[in-house]
DNA sequence: CTTAGCACTCACTCATCCTGAGTGCTAACA
DNA sequence: TGTTAGCACTCAGGATGAGTGAGTGCTAAG
């Protein structure tokens, strides 16, 4: 990306900010009238023409003002936007909300999605923190009736799954507790492969025990296989309010992106290993399905132990100067929760 | 609701079915041409005029065809629609999908939402089965680090909550297990009030134990207080495809209804105690915010033990003859899961 | 009770015109 | 050499108006 003169940068910045605020193409007169640069409209026009030639700006039609191109947004985000943080009062308000609820993962995720949606005025998404490889930490069998029990599995990354198990023979809680204890000893903190090949594979087990071991193995495999993370979403309504979605088919795309998870998953998988806030503008030429949208995403969690992603999705005409600090701040809060879980 | 002649019923049925299929107002010619009743358009017009006078039909403007009013849809649903079931092959396919996954509540809810969205071609919603009053069934403390532990609470209705607990003093798993066992004995299957006033209130407890008891009490109270159920949603995209949502502001309403939960919650709270599939057409004059939409909802679960709601939301012009059997069938499947959990 | 005939209504589509914001280019100016 | 005034040109969007056709209600005859 070449260097622009400071006047060109100033004008580009004005166009981007104006357009983000108003959603209306920005013309030379507007710039001079509203920002009075000590320049005539004609000069501004020359600069606009230059910026357009260089690919930072676009015209929707020959006699309209300019709007930023993806390249223009990128220049803006990377070079022109002063690295702002949320205002202290806003930070305090958000922190307060998080500390209102207990240190409960589900709640925090919900809250993170709500806070991001609100603050960045975009659709938000949050995935649960997940370990790269699932490991059982503890299991517990709880009697539901003579012939059914709840199998509760707690994993290393703090996630939990519960399943109903149909018991081959009527079994009481005492017996189930014994089974739990026995299996906890055998399975230790095993991953999927270790469950299949470790002590549990060779030890003499009852039918019920064998069945539960099989269930644990399947569940661990499933967790590893489908990177398919739960994605909490919120704030769709904000995207809907943007004027670019006056025609429904535009909007349909957003809903499709958010409901079909495959695309998001592939992007999330990449962001997971990045550092800090990632801004993906107009699909960056790699994801056609979101060429009109931008994502501001950040990984959070503890490296190597468990991590997830928080972020927002909106039109490329997104208030980056709010979205980026908001995502950064919420990622930091979510990280602190995960750190607590690992005792840091 | 008065009785209509069989010819009037026939014509009303045709209008409703035609309009549901095409989204275009239905005129006398269309009816005669496509259904040849052995009547002339003029006669049909007289009947249409009658049905309109009686409030079963509406005209969008003076020279347009008729569309069904809410009253018309209601008559159709309650009197004219033969009580269909899904086709056996469809039933088999859906059952198969459910039995592919383990007896896992989360999975079943997700699946139920997906299946309903698909089958009824509408937005779907599913709430978790919940007991009228939360009771602790079992708790377990699992060491995360020296100074943190995961508190896992299993409740009577099979739901689970996990929280991170900051330990006042460094404590190992052995000690945590003792605490768990002790508290399980003290708390039995207590509800919120019983935790506060039962043996746990008077017994001599360590600081950690007291803290955990407090947490349990708070969580139980929270679960009772906020009827605020998790609502799984899916299939928004189907609603978006309906022609009545060509203008965004119409659609915005749907998203608002689905994102603001308060309205849905009040409706769900009512349906929970009903029998069988409930059809709410155009808000029934009681919920203004959904006056253009219909809900087809059904409670499921085990009476008095734990129940939830499954259903779909769409425009009043909804394919009731698919939605109703689909909701009924999925409710039955979900009930069977809950029944398993209670050993029926 | 049914139906043919007829006058009438009115949303929708299409073409046309007009307006105004905005442009690029050229030539004069500092 | 960079800046600016002037000017002709472009084009989306709104307003207007005519034409079309699906559909109606009413009346009178079968």
**Which nucleotide's C1' sits nearest to the alpha carbon of B46?**
D25
- R_g over Cα of chain A: 26
pLDDT in tens, B9-21: 999 999 999 999 9
Nucleic acid strand D within 7 Å of A40 CB: yes
Could you tell me which of B291, B260, B251 has the C-alpha nearest to residue A241? B251
- Domain membership of residue B1 (yes or no) is no
- Domain membership of residue A302 (yes or no) is yes
Spatial contact of A137 and A124, defined as CB atoms under 8 Å apart: no
Could you tell me which of A260, A341, A334, A258 has the C-alpha nearest to residue A298? A334
Spatial contact of B239 and B251, defined as CB atoms under 8 Å apart: yes
- Domain membership of residue A1 (yes or no) is no
- Of B225, B254, B286, the residue at which a domain comes to its end is B225
Q: Which of B22-31, B106-115, B256-265 has the lowest mean pLDDT?
A: B256-265
Same domain, A115 and A243: yes
Give the pLDDT score at A37: 82
> What CATH code is carried by the domain that includes residue A45?
1.10.10.10
Instruction: Give the Cα separation of B73 and B68 in Å (integer).
Output: 6
- Domain membership of residue B44 (yes or no) is yes
Same domain, B204 and B268: no
Which residues, 6+ apart, have CB-to-CB distance to B234 below 8 Å? A259, B110, B113, B114, B116, B117, B123, B124
A/B interface, count of CB pairs below 8 Å: 137
Q: Is B140 on the interface with A (CB under 8 A)?
A: yes
Percent with pLDDT over 70 in chain B:
99
> What CATH code is carried by the domain that includes residue B233?
3.30.450.40
In degrees and rounded to multiples of 5, residue B261 shows phi and psi of -80, -20
How many domains does chain B contain in total? Answer: 3
- Domain membership of residue B109 (yes or no) is yes
**Alpha helix ranges (H) inside B25-172:** 28-35, 41-53, 70-75, 88-100, 105-120
- Domain membership of residue B178 (yes or no) is yes
Give the pLDDT score at B228: 65
Instruction: Give the Cα separation of B313 and B297 in Å (integer).
Output: 9
Same domain, A263 and A335: yes
Same domain, B314 and B251: yes
pLDDT in tens, B90-125: 999 999 999 998 889 989 999 999 999 999 999 999
> What CATH code is carried by the domain that includes residue A196?
3.30.390.60
Nucleic acid strand C within 7 Å of B8 CB: no
pLDDT in tens, A37-80: 888 999 999 999 999 999 999 999 888 899 999 999 999 999 99
Confidence of residue B202 (pLDDT cuts 50, 70, 90): confident
Q: Is B302 on the interface with A (CB under 8 A)?
A: no
- Domain membership of residue A167 (yes or no) is yes
- Which positions in chain B touch A161 (Cβ < 8 Å)? 104, 106
Give the pLDDT score at B83: 79
Give the pLDDT score at A2: 64
Same domain, B25 and B75: yes
pLDDT in tens, B147-175: 999 999 999 988 999 999 999 999 999 99
Same domain, A151 and A216: yes
Strands (E), chain B: 57-59, 66-68, 123-127, 136-143, 148-155, 160-166, 231-234, 278-281, 293-302, 306-315
Which residues, 6+ apart, have CB-to-CB distance to B260 below 8 Å? none
> 3-state class of B217 per DSSP?
helix
- Of A80, A100, A115, the residue at which a domain comes to its end is A80
Same domain, B111 and B236: yes
| End-to-end Cα distance, chain B | 41
Give the pLDDT score at B63: 86
- Which positions in chain A touch B340 (Cβ < 8 Å)? 148, 164, 166
Give the pLDDT score at B227: 62
* Model pTM score: 0.91
Same domain, B111 and B51: no
Same domain, B151 and B190: yes
- Of B203, B225, B247, the residue at which a domain comes to its end is B225
- Its domain, for residue B42, covers 6-80
Instruction: Give the Cα separation of A40 and A162 in Å (integer).
Output: 69
Give the pLDDT score at A57: 97
Helix and strand tally (H, E) in chain A?
Answer: 14, 10
Instruction: Give the Cα separation of B39 and B27 in Å (integer).
Output: 14
Give the pLDDT score at B2: 64
> What residue ranges of chain A have pLDDT lower than 50?
none
């Amino acid at each position: 990306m070449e260097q622009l003169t400071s006047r060109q940068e100033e004008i580009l910045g004005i166009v981007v900010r104006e357009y983000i605020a108003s959603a209306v193409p920005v013309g030379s007169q507007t710039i001079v009238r509203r920002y009075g640069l000590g320049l005539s409209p004609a000069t501004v026009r020359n600069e606009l023409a230059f910026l357009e030639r260089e690919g930072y700006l676009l015209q929707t039609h020959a006699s309209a003002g300019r709007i930023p191109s993806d390249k223009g947004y990128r220049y803006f985000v990377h070079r022109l936007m002063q690295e702002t943080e949320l205002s202290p009062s806003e930070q305090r308000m958000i922190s307060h909300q998080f500390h209102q609820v207990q240190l409960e993962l589900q709640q925090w995720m919900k809250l993170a999605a709500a806070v991001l949606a609100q603050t960045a005025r975009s659709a938000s998404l949050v995935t649960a923190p997940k370990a790269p490889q699932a490991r059982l930490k503890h299991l517990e069998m709880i009697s539901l009736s003579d012939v059914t029990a709840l199998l509760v599995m707690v994993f290393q990354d703090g996630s939990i799954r519960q399943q109903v198990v149909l018991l081959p023979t009527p079994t009481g809680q005492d017996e189930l507790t014994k089974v739990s204890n026995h299996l906890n000893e055998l399975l230790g903190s095993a991953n999927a492969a270790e469950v299949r090949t470790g002590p549990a594979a060779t030890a003499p087990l009852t039918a019920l025990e064998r069945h539960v071991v099989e269930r644990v193995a399947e569940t661990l495999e499933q967790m590893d296989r489908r990177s398919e993370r739960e994605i909490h979403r919120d704030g769709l309504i904000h995207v809907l309010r943007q004027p670019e979605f006056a025609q429904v088919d535009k909007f349909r795309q957003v809903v499709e992106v958010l409901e079909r998870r495959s695309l998001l998953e592939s992007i999330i998988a990449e962001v997971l290993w990045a550092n800090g806030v990632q801004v993906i503008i107009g699909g960056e030429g790699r994801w056609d399905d979101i060429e009109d949208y931008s994502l501001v995403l950040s990984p959070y969690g503890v490296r190597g132990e468990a991590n997830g992603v928080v972020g927002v999705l909106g039109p490329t005409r997104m208030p980056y100067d709010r979205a980026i600090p908001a995502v950064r701040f919420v990622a930091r809060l979510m990280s602190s929760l995960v750190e607590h879980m690992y005792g840091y």
